[in-house]
Structure 1
């Protein structure tokens, strides 16, 4: 069957199924469960109106339960078993993780990514958004800065492999060192601790464009009256930016920061492509892959730990979003 025909049939079945579900569920509710007739007509109408919103929410709740809640519960249960799915080990997988030095290194590296990448991406994006808005060719500059967002993480990693290459004829860093008079090339991916920051630069390079676009729109939404009042009061450009503009777009800044934070906690491609987690650059997702094909129980335990780490950020983001809606 042609793909286009498959798509059309899927759309027809999906849309028709939704319409049929809502029509039949409301019909059954109004005619058979709480019929609007008889002595209890008023009570039945109120009960039907109370139930009706749940009929509309049920498909979404069902899909979320099937594709979100069930996998989470299933993953937690699987993490309580060993490599053999029939061998129940309890919390031994978690105990082995926290007792191992490699897990500690991966966890601390993840925290380092969380502290550095969202902050750097958001700050640079904010500064670039402010500066490009003052340029006549600012839109061209924004397009160039946003362009890395169109590149996959693996593609970006391969580009930066050339930048970090241990060869003065290929690697940009070693070419600059050679020009400055340093004869021996260095492999920045093997420098302990600092190699993590060289990896983070790749993600900052990618995400700065995202932060710039969102924050540029927020800056343009600031009322001109507040800026004009600050200028009349004698505020200089730095005071206008940090004391007038930034406080007014702070909610947007926090949304950008939390969005990048969630992305950082899931990043895997960059580390796997650049170092494979070697030289002290292991993070939780890459560490999970080490156990994926030899110890499913421990790999699932690591996945559950990653989810627990992400939850506080998600709850905080939801709470802030609700504050904005009030």
Structure 2
């Protein structure tokens, strides 16, 4: 089948199916289940109106159940079986996993990523948003800073791989070291512990543009009266920024922070592209992938742990977003 015909057929079936579902479900509800006739038609109308919202919610609930709830429950159940999936071992995979040195290293590295990347990206985004609003060419600067957001994680990793190359002719770091008189090039991606920070720089570079756009809009929403009043009272620019502006957009800062945190807990591409999880740079998603095709039970156990870690952050993010909308 031609891709064009296939796409049009998919759209026709999808849109037509949705329209048909809502039309016929409401028709059956009003004409068959609760018809507006008899001695008390008002009672049936009220009952139909109570049921009607669930008709609209059912497709979304069914999709969430099929593509979210079922995989979560199925993954947890699979994690309770052995490698081949034919023997129930309870929490054996979790016990082995938590005692594994590789898992402990990955968990510690994930903690570092969660601690540093959201803080760095949010701080730089806030700083850039404040500074560029005062420049005539601020929109051009914002466009340049936001540009990395259009690059995939793999593409960004390949760019930074040249920056970190252990060759003074290509790698920026080794070129600087060569200018300072270093005798031999250094492969920064193999320097234990510190190589994690070099990988974090890539994600901070990408996410700074996202934080800048959101926080720039929040800064522009601050009433000018409060800023002018602070200036009249003798506040200097630093006091205006940290004591007047930042408190008023703290809710937005928290939302940006938690959004980047959720992304950090799921990041995989950068580590896999740059080091493959070697040299002490393993994180939970890359640790999971290392077992994906040789121990399905262990891999699903790691996936469930990642979900448990992400869940509180998502709940906090949703609550903050709702508080912002009030």
TM superposition score category, shorter chain reference: over 0.9
- Where in structure 1 are there 5+ consecutive unaligned residues? none
**Is structure 2 residue 139 aligned with structure 1 residue 139?**
yes
Match of 1:79 in 2: 79
Task: Report the CA distance between 1:232 and its aligned residue.
Answer: 1.1
Aligned length: 326
In the alignment, what sits opposite 2:27? 27
Task: Provide the TM-score with structure 2 as the length reference.
Answer: 0.97
CA contact (8 A) 2:129 2:215 kept: yes
Shifted more, 133-142 versus 35-44: the winner is 35-44
> What does 1:152-231 align with in structure 2 at a 5 Å threshold?
152-231=152-231
SS in 2 for 1:12: helix
Please list the CA deviations of residues 283-315 of structure 1 after superposition, one character each: whole Å capped at 9, or x if unmatched: 000001110111010001000100000000001
Question: Where does residue 128 of structure 1 map in the other structure?
Answer: 128
* Higher mean C-alpha displacement, 310-319 vs 249-258: 249-258
State the alpha-carbon separation in 1 of the partners of residues 217 and 304 from structure 2.
36
- Which shifted more, 262-271 or 313-322? 313-322
Deviation at 1:158, TM superposition (A): 1.2
Partners of 2:40 and 2:99 lie apart in 1 by 65
CA distance in 2, matches of 1:320, 1:259: 11
User: In 2, Cα distance between the equivalents of 1:159 and 1:5?
Assistant: 39
2:126–2:211 CA contact under 8 A, matched in 1? yes
- How far residue 199 of structure 1 moved from its aligned partner, in angstroms, is 0.6
**2:235 alignment partner in structure 1:** 235
Task: Check conservation: 2:94, 2:298, Cα contact below 8 A.
Answer: yes
Distance in 2, matches of 1:8 and 1:233, equals 64
TM-score, with length taken from structure 1: 0.97
Shift of 1:253: 1.1
CA-to-partner distance for each residue in 1:148-182, whole Å, 9 max, x for gaps? Answer: 11111111111111111112122111111111122
Aligned CA-pair RMSD: 1.1
Whole-angstrom distance in 1 between the partners of 2:323 and 2:221: 19
**Alignment partners' CA distance in 1, 2:30 and 2:169:** 77
Q: Which deviates more, 68-77 or 179-188?
A: 179-188
Superposition pairs of residues 1-326 of structure 1, within 5 angstroms: 1-326=1-326
Secondary structure of 1:80's aligned partner: coil
Q: Structure 2 stretches of 5 or more lacking a match?
A: none
1-structure distance, mates of 2:43, 2:282: 62
Partner Cα distance (1:93, 1:30) in 2: 53
User: 1:29-50 deviations in whole A, cap 9, x for unaligned?
Assistant: 1122112122332322221111
What is the CA deviation profile of residues 78-121 of structure 1, one whole-angstrom value per residue up to 9, with x for unaligned ones? 11111212222111000110011110110110011001000100
Aligned partners of 1:98 and 1:196: how far apart in 2?
A: 21
- SS of 1:173's partner is helix
